[in-house]
Structure 1
């Protein structure tokens, strides 16, 4: 098998214009990420014919070759040995590729760079919250009761899981602060401190902000009175994304500006405290209130669209999500999901994303039965299994897009399932693992409807793939 990996690496290098055309190379879980000097030298058709290559495309200035889990590491090792390049990180390659991006692509890339490192923490929290909901949901296992009422000894377990599930969301600004300052070139530890500042216990809990702002039950907003000159709301930003994202950018710029001007002998004394004080005041006094309002407007706008025209909204999202994955713009939805969860207690976006993954896997599964060649069957079966557990790239690029009609079938199934769950108000209290395990992270009262959506996302892509396959064969005969 080692010879196959080396041959694959040799072919990849050749069809990308030779080793002199490769500036940097890295790999993620399933793909080679390559920064090229001249994209016109790519021989795409020949590259996609390589046996281990499941797809190839340009995204955010970086050329990506889909290989699949485990095998990508071995092909990458051979590629590095053949080109005699130094190993690079995905961030290194993205940074080089970003020089070729337009402003919108650069914005999407920022979201991707910030959220991808913290995604495991968010997904873990989502799964734990799903388990927590299963234990505490009434009528799910017993009529009129939940598991805690039937088995009181579970209370301690429920409390522990609840605390673990909430940790990532309560301290989300600290996670984003770390990742964002790293992305913007600042000190990660200062980013963590800034994030923790925004959720300090002395600040009004962000979830109680609405009640205090409306003056319900006599509640009033507390303020910091700064020397009688101006006031700052004592309000936290638990679960908020935009405030810490913008504040981390400002923090990094302030820190870098100071480092260039403060003598090295006193930098440790001056730079951190000045950066935190200046950015902290700006974050609590200006950045936080403004970005919270922007985030609320964004969430309200999306909710309004789905309330006003739920079928149209679900149709468009269900049909367009998979194409957005190809462009990389799907990373934007992580921030939208988290904003919806913070503001409304649940998101209707993520369940549709999970069903899109299932639809892609189902179309690939149909190709397993349709394909004649053993290699095609093997690729389709492994890709379908991967998609059913949330990793869609092998199915999308290796099977569905290369054959076209299964991709169309998956989009039809995804859109139909999205319409159904939207009309039935399916919500998720957190982001979990996409694909079949997604039901764990769905609100208990929505679970039955989500299961029906899952069936739709399996059946329609399979049936449509067979129908379109037959139509294609008839057209070829004609």
Structure 2
């Protein structure tokens, strides 16, 4: 790669140096804060040699480079007046809508695994009950129901902890505030039918179990109150007085004003959405089904979560998420249509694989890697989603359980009166999108580009075939829970554009060498390490998502570039509690960045894993 030319092309295509407020880089990406993202020519950037893709996260424009990112970054500095990382501040503040979306997404994302797991249990329990395997009176049913329902009943506590991390306040004080609102004596007091007052002020009876907006408002307010009290209280009294006064102020204020206001807002949103579907019917479903993919691209889908949760709590069902199923099936169908039509063997295989992945609920590879790249298939996917959404609205399909997956694994979420209609409708957007894709056709990937497609997927920092590799085993660098890359909340990793591998949710903050070899890169912020094994495998260990922003805080590196290590040697340590408290997701991708050099990369382990246990085999 000609780093100087790549850097010059990037500088020109992002709108010139005048459009750059700041640029930093992490282990794999250039991260730009730009004055105007709209003037960026993403299509041309993605064709620049060495660029493997682009992504927009919030207001940040990211260019995926891979292992060569430090060299491209340095070339950008050499060809501009930007002298050092972080020497410029982005004077750009988020607008109110962006800030609200950011809070909702940042709050819900960490708790989604708990909600998804609980929802799946409720779905399986519903199947067992409908098949007559269990009765609602059996003790097994009661216990399983408590497991599935617990996360939803005590949802305000989960949200309080997550919101406190987002707002930078004490998570345990936030949990205590939520627990007070859910205390049985408060619930009993509200259900008594008597008028309730606190110090002469009327308290409106509100059901806080499973609620969303009241606790978000309460913890947002608590973050300001706690910060204000912390500033005025002498240091020797902070430990006792700050949490005490915060709870004494926030809980009554929530009971008197914030809780009822949040409930009113939530109910109004639910009523508004319900009225839209009641009055617009098929049109509402078509619009939502046809635009879900666009909504997801902007991150605005998180704004629907409070409405969905309120619908499930107050009505027992939701009519919004069925349209998301339709949108996903549309993306899957469009990718399938590309697979049928394409003459390029490599791209045909890619399209078929991503179609299957999208059917299973993970749409990013199909949407970004195939349909948007070909343009017309993406339009076909939107059409398929609109037709499917119209059908679901017409027959009144309902979503009863928050199952955490909007693909075939989440079909249990439809178990209820409209289950059969839901199942019958799943193929509709798939078939429509596939047919429209086939009819509209597209400009196929030329055969001579096959090598380039493989190279992009491999994300190798050397040409495919330049390194001789042999089969080998990769050992776990962490103790934790093994998860698939699709569960990583970053499309760059989840879509496997960086390469294949696994992710681990750590339970200890120690990273050890997964192979014997040479340390190729210890990133300056110490959140990521690259290592090349003795057999040629290039491994990237990336601790957490967006942890580059911590600038090395809470990380300690035990190795440096060029060090020779053996399996199990300590590489770095990190403070899990501090990083989590700062609001960062600790899920850690372990990527084989020269994926293209291997025929198969096969995970060997599910569930809990100890460090130095075999987790991947390369052949």
TM-score bracket for this pair, using the shorter chain length? 0.7 to 0.9
For residue 34 of structure 1, the aligned residue among 15, 31, 35 is 31
1:48 maps onto 2:46 in alignment: yes
In 2: Cα distance, 1:400 partner to 1:468 partner: 13
In 2: Cα distance, 1:76 partner to 1:448 partner: 46
Unaligned runs of 5+ in 1: 1-6, 68-74, 85-92, 213-219, 474-478
What's 1:101 paired with?
Answer: 94
In 1: Cα distance, 2:60 partner to 2:219 partner: 26
Asked if the contact 1:178/1:188 (under 8 Å) is kept, the reply is: yes
Unaligned runs of 5+ in 2: 75-85, 445-619
1:361 maps onto 2:332 in alignment: yes
Question: What CA RMSD, in Å, does the superposition of the two structures yield over aligned residues?
Answer: 3.3
In 2: Cα distance, 1:398 partner to 1:8 partner: 25
Asked if the contact 1:202/1:234 (under 8 Å) is kept, the reply is: no
Give a deviation string over 1:402-454, Cα, whole Å, max 9, x none.
Answer: 21211111111111111212222222222221112221111232221111111
Quickly say closer, same or farther: Cα 1:226–1:445, change in 2 above 3 A. closer
Asked if the contact 2:206/2:260 (under 8 Å) is kept, the reply is: no
In 1: Cα distance, 2:259 partner to 2:2 partner: 50
In 1: Cα distance, 2:51 partner to 2:329 partner: 22
For residue 79 of structure 1, the aligned residue among 49, 69, 73 is 69
In 2: Cα distance, 1:398 partner to 1:189 partner: 42
For residue 453 of structure 1, the aligned residue among 425, 434, 442 is 425
1:125 maps onto 2:118 in alignment: yes
More helix by share: 1
Give a deviation string over 1:220-258, Cα, whole Å, max 9, x none.
Answer: 53454434x223245441111110010010000001111
In 1: Cα distance, 2:6 partner to 2:237 partner: 51
Give secondary structure in 2 for the equivalent of 1:444: coil
In 1: Cα distance, 2:163 partner to 2:2 partner: 36
Give a deviation string over 1:280-303, Cα, whole Å, max 9, x none.
Answer: 111111100111012111111111
Give a deviation string over 1:120-139, Cα, whole Å, max 9, x none.
Answer: 112112211111111112xx
In 2: Cα distance, 1:51 partner to 1:449 partner: 49
Asked if the contact 2:289/2:323 (under 8 Å) is kept, the reply is: yes
For residue 177 of structure 1, the aligned residue among 148, 160, 166 is 160
Quickly say closer, same or farther: Cα 1:205–1:431, change in 2 above 3 A. farther
Quickly say closer, same or farther: Cα 1:185–1:458, change in 2 above 3 A. same
Asked if the contact 2:6/2:49 (under 8 Å) is kept, the reply is: no
Quickly say closer, same or farther: Cα 1:37–1:423, change in 2 above 3 A. closer
More strand by share: 2
Q: Following TM superposition, by how much is the alpha carbon of 1:342 offset from its aligned partner in structure 2, in angstroms?
A: 1.0
Give secondary structure in 1 for the equivalent of 2:185: coil
In 1: Cα distance, 2:90 partner to 2:141 partner: 46
Higher relative contact order (CA 8 A, sep 6+): 1
Give 1:49-64 correspondences, 5 Å limit: 49=47, 56-64=54-62
Q: Following TM superposition, by how much is the alpha carbon of 1:372 offset from its aligned partner in structure 2, in angstroms?
A: 2.4
Q: Following TM superposition, by how much is the alpha carbon of 1:14 offset from its aligned partner in structure 2, in angstroms?
A: 6.7
Give a deviation string over 1:163-210, Cα, whole Å, max 9, x none.
Answer: 11111111110111111111112111112112222222222279xx8x
What's 1:324 paired with?
Answer: 295
For residue 380 of structure 1, the aligned residue among 345, 351, 367 is 351
In 2: Cα distance, 1:121 partner to 1:440 partner: 17
Quickly say closer, same or farther: Cα 1:81–1:333, change in 2 above 3 A. farther
What's 2:264 paired with?
Answer: 293
Question: Comparing 262-271 with 188-197, which one deviates more in the overlay?
Answer: 188-197
Give 1:415-426 correspondences, 5 Å limit: 415-426=386-397
If the length of structure 2 is used for normalisation, what is the TM-score? 0.62
Give 1:230-379 correspondences, 5 Å limit: 230-233=201-204, 235-379=206-350
Give a deviation string over 1:53-73, Cα, whole Å, max 9, x none.
Answer: 7753435312245x7xxxxxx
Quickly say closer, same or farther: Cα 1:286–1:435, change in 2 above 3 A. same
In 1: Cα distance, 2:42 partner to 2:402 partner: 35
Quickly say closer, same or farther: Cα 1:203–1:270, change in 2 above 3 A. same
If the length of structure 1 is used for normalisation, what is the TM-score? 0.79
In 1: Cα distance, 2:26 partner to 2:91 partner: 15
Give 1:168-247 correspondences, 5 Å limit: 168-204=151-187, 220-227=192-199, 229-233=200-204, 235-247=206-218
In 2: Cα distance, 1:8 partner to 1:241 partner: 51
Question: How many pairs does the alignment contain?
Answer: 423
What's 1:17 paired with?
Answer: 11
In 1: Cα distance, 2:104 partner to 2:2 partner: 32
What's 1:115 paired with?
Answer: 108
